[in-house]
Amino acid sequence: MGALFLLVYIGGVPFPISALISGVVNALLVWAGLQWTRSTRLGAIALWTWLLSVMALTVARGPGGGVIFGVAGGPAFDEWSPLVLFVFGGVPPGIVLWRYSRR
């Protein structure tokens, strides 16, 4: 869902709300995983799964030949949207893991 709604515009300005929501949801999933186990590796399974899914969306083609990321020649934000999703979706759960490991 984060990739689907990433290219939402309000007026002429890109508004990557789904990237922000992905970061919050991923951080909550990592936090919940860390409540069930003491291992940061097991607690990070949700983050690793999400990262692999986003990476697959950047290189894979769908059954009809469609590409989720890879709008060549589109507006500038379209080219940066995978990076925006990685940063805003991956940094918050990374912070949760880092703070948990420093305990």
Cross-strand partners of 9:
14
| Model confidence, pTM | 0.83
Cα separation, 21 vs 15, whole angstroms: 12
- Helix, strand or coil for residue 7? coil
Type of residue numbered 72: A
CB–CB of 51/90 below 8 Å? yes
The domain limits of the chain are 18-58+77-103
Quick one: tokens of 60?
Answer: 């894979």
Under the banding of pLDDT at 50, 70 and 90, the label for residue 99 is very high
Dihedral pair phi/psi, residue 98, rounded to 5°: -65, -45
Per-residue pLDDT reduced to its tens digit, 44-96: 999 999 999 988 888 767 677 777 776 555 566 667 888 889 999 999 999 99
pLDDT at residue 97, rounded to an integer: 94
Q: What is the pLDDT of residue 77?
A: 65
